[in-house]
Amino acid sequence: EAGVVQSPRYKIIEKKQPVAFWCNPISGHNTLYWYLQNLGQGPELLIRYENEEAVDDSQLPKDRFSAERLKGVDSTLKIQPAELGDSAVYLCASSKGSYTEAFFGQGTRLTVV
């Protein structure tokens, strides 16, 4: 069974530029999470989807961040415009349901210069 796939693995952009991350969850997993992880810290939840519905986006900075999950499968997370403080690892995870264990992708390491 394929795991959670994220792309790209690394991204370097200049500040004020847009950037997008893509996530393909494990087949059959209804729940999808996007987390942000700073160096030496734990993952911080940005948004959670149940199928195509965003059920928890309270931590998503909506002035510059947006996300979508088309047809309840793949998801994209976008930042526009990026700021220096957005440099971090962006992790995607999926689970069969919101009460079960989550499976994480390798993450996308974003560097904003």
Partner 1 sequence: SQQGEEDPQALSIQEGENATMNCSYKTSINNLQWYRQNSGRGLVHLILIRSNEREKHSGRLRVTLDTSKKSSSLLITASRAADTASYFCGINTGANSKLTFGKGITLSVRP
> Applying CB under 8 A, which residues contact partner 1?
4, 33, 35, 40-45, 48, 55-56, 91, 93, 98-107
Our separate counts of H helices and E strands in the chain read: 0, 11
Q: How far is CA 79 from CA 17, 32, 60, 63, 90, in A?
A: 8, 18, 11, 9, 11
- The DSSP 8-state label assigned to residue 2 in this structure reads -
Name the residue nearer to partner 1 (CB basis): 28 or 42: 42
- Give 43 or 75: the residue with its C-beta nearer to partner 1: 43
| Minimal distance, residue 86 CB to partner 1, in Å | 19
Question: Cβ closer to partner 1: 37 or 81?
Answer: 37
Tell the smallest beta-carbon distance from residue 36 to partner 1 (Å): 11
∠ CA 79-105-18, rounded to 5°: 15
